[in-house]
Amino acid sequence: MRELVREHRTDPAQLVQPLFVVENPGQAGPIASMPGIERYTVESAVREARTLDALGLGSVLLFGIPKTKDARGSKNFDPDGVVQQTAREIKSALPHMIVIADLCNCEYTDHGHCGILNERGDVDNDATVEILARTALTYARAGVDVVAPSDMMDGRVGAIREALDGEDFEEIAIMAYSAKYASAFYGPFREAAGSTPQFGDRRTYQMDPSNVREALREMTLDVQEGADILMVKPALAYLDVVRAARDRFDLPIAVYNVSGEYSMIKAAALNGWIDEERAVHEMLVSFARAGANIVITYFAKEYAARSR
């Protein structure tokens, strides 16, 4: 009876599995702070995509880790960059799989910030937006279905949409990290992607965790600029923001169940302090209950395997 009258469910088809892909094969392997998650080569990422597909997971989110970095993040918009290569190979092997490419500079810059720096050492918003639009085109040409700008630069959604439409990529969707907070929950990701800032922090362009109305303003701007999907990141500590977004906007809402949230549950479960399977289910259904249509989570593979 409980299952018959259940109000909210989490279906594996709603879940997106992030994949870290390295250009240098020597960097592939397990990530210490994220038990069960690893960095892949292009070839092993395709094999993992096949496994995910067999489990009923239809979407992956790609993060690239280049061999070399520079101040402009030049490897980000290299047509033969690691994300571009991986997208081509996954779409060749699994044409029906939705390939989403995270669009940012932090993994590609030698200083670790999400934008290009000016002479004062501050992030140059407009110069960064130009790089993002240029990179988005290389992703589209590689066969990516969705580009997901995560940098929080002003005006980037409109610039990306204009660039894509200008080359007849109107069908490429934009999943905007519209409300990305300056959070303490990103630590394990920064180890995984090698994207820790070399100085300062990201509070000048990521959001204050105390603000909700600001998040709604940011989302409104992204809707006006042509975003197809709005995202709230992190997820667990921001369910009120997800609900506010669901009540305000008639677009799909995504949440990112980030690395710190993943690692907390994994650590507690490995110590025998919580029941991992029940905790993960409870957490994922809370995202759906708050109004999320799409859940990006490192638990996607395990959850889908248990759901079969």
Which residues have a catalytic role annotated? 180, 233
Place of tokens 């490192």: 298
Nearest alpha-carbon partner for 178 in 221, 117, 119: 221
Q: How far is CA 167 from the centre of its chain?
A: 24
In angstroms, the CA 282 to CA 278 distance is 6
Say if residues 186 and 213 touch (Cβ distance below 8 Å).
no
Q: For helices 276-290 and 300-307, give the axis angle rounded to 10 degrees.
A: 100
In angstroms, the CA 90 to CA 97 distance is 8
Quote the Cα angle for 61-21-282, to 5°. Answer: 45
Cβ neighbors of 142 (< 8 A, separation 6 or more) are: 79, 83, 84, 85, 87, 88, 91
Quote the Cα angle for 253-256-261, to 5°. Answer: 140
